[in-house]
Amino acid sequence: MIWNDKIEILSFPGPIPPDDDNILKEYKRIVARDYRNRRIGDFLKELRLTEGRGTGFPTIYNAMENNNSPSPGFDTDKHSTYFLTTLPAFISDQVSDQVSDQISAIVDETIHSRVSDILNLFLTAKKRTELFEELGLTNHSKNRKRYLDPLIDYGWVKMLYTETKTSPKQMYLTTDTGKRLLKLLISND
């Protein structure tokens, strides 16, 4: 999750033994023989926040300190069922731009290229027919499934009448999460 004041990366399962919640709290250098989330590791390596040689923890601590950001947080439970990394206070404009580029690419590839248009249109409550009319699309169920349903599923758009989803009065509105995403997508343009 990307927030205005932090990035949280939640991984399942938790750290690989012998790392546990006590080790994460006490030590800044942790040596692991097996790796999880290689894609996230590669992304952080490109941003020069990790080195990719099993020395990620010290590099992350140093990068956060060099940017005058608060220390990162690493958390798990007793049974190592999850691993939560928190990088507080978004690091710099350069990193922010790179993350925005990544987010735009992911949104365009996995959902569709009209996400920012729809989120922008739903900043004020509108009916589905109004949305499709402004987008130049027909008010057809295939367009609803393609363009609107994924945004509702991700929690970026909400229905105002949740108890009667097919109400003729049904209107849609961009959520706070959708507004944060829209801000990132617009800053990338």
What pLDDT sits at residue 91? Answer: 43
Tens-place pLDDT, residues 117-151 = 899 999 999 999 999 999 999 988 898 888 888 88
pTM: 0.47
Angle between helices 38-46 and 56-66 (to 10 degrees): 40
Q: Which CATH class is domain 96-188?
A: mainly alpha
Tens-place pLDDT, residues 143-169 = 888 888 888 888 889 999 888 878 888
pLDDT over 90 (residue 72): no
pLDDT over 80 (residue 78): no
Domain ranges, ordered by start, for the chain: 6-89, 96-188
- Give me the helices (H) in 29-140, please: 38-46, 56-66, 93-110, 115-121, 128-135
The amino acid present at 72, given as its one-letter code, is P
Closest CA to 103 of 11, 176, 188: 188
Rounded to an integer, the average pLDDT of 50-54 is: 60
Residue identified by tokens 């956060």 is 64
Q: Return d(Cα 186, Cα 178) in angstroms, integer.
A: 12
Closest CA to 128 of 120, 117, 139, 118: 139
